[in-house]
Amino acid sequence: MQSLWLIFQLLFCLFVGFILARRLPQWLEKIALKILPYFTYILLIAIAIEFAQTLDRIAHPTQILSDAISIALATSVGAFLCCYILFKSIGFQPTQGKVSIDLLIGSLLNISYAFIALALGYGLSILFNYFDYQLHVSTWYLLLVFMSLIGLDLAYSPLDRSWLNWKILLVPVGCIIGSILGAVVCSFMISNISLKDLIMLSQGYGFYSMTGIVVTELKNAHLGSIALINDLFREIFAILLMYMIGWRYPRSAISSAGATAMDVTLPMVKQACGNDFIPHAMVSGFILSVLAPIAVSILAAL
How much is the pLDDT for 67?
A: 92
How far is Cα 4 from Cα 254, in angstroms, rounded to an integer? 31
What's the pTM?
Answer: 0.76
HSE (side-chain half, CA atoms, 13 Å) at 152: 24
Cβ 231 vs Cβ 201: under 8 Å: no
pLDDT (0 to 100) of residue 7: 64
pLDDT in tens, 163-210: 667 888 999 999 999 999 999 999 999 988 999 999 999 999 988 778
25, containing H or E segment: none
CB 53, CB 125: distance < 8 Å? yes
The radius of gyration of the chain from alpha carbons, rounded to an integer in Å, stands at 19
Residue 180 sits at the vertex; the CA angle it makes with 6 and 116, to the nearest 5 degrees, is 65
Residue 177 confidence (pLDDT): 97
What's the pLDDT at 75?
96
Q: How many domains does the chain have?
A: 1
Q: What is the pLDDT of residue 170?
A: 92
Query: What range defines the domain where residue 147 resides?
Result: 2-301
Q: What pLDDT is stored for residue 1 in this prediction? A: 47
Torsion over CA of 23, 278, 292 and 235, rounded to 10 degrees?
-120
Q: What is the pLDDT of residue 277?
A: 82
pLDDT score recorded for residue 255: 94
Contacts 24+ apart (CB under 8 A), 119-128: 119/48, 120/45, 120/48, 121/44, 121/45, 121/46, 121/47, 121/48, 121/49, 121/51, 121/52, 122/48, 122/49, 122/51, 122/52, 124/45, 124/48, 124/49, 125/48, 125/49, 125/52, 125/53, 126/52
Q: Could you give the CA distance from residue 39 to residue 30 in angstroms, rounded to a whole number?
A: 14
CA distances from 287 to 3, 169, 227, 280, 283 (A): 21, 9, 20, 11, 6
Q: Which residues of the chain have pLDDT under 70?
A: 1-4, 6-7, 54-59, 93-100, 102-104, 106-107, 157-164, 263, 267
Task: For residue 132, give Cα distances in angstroms to 126, 129, 181.
Answer: 10, 5, 46
Spell out the residues 6+ positions from residue 283 whose beta carbon is closer than 8 angstroms to its own.
Answer: 159, 163, 164, 168, 169, 171, 172
Q: Which pLDDT score, from 0 to 100, does residue 55 have? A: 66
Which one-letter amino acid corresponds to residue 154?
A: L
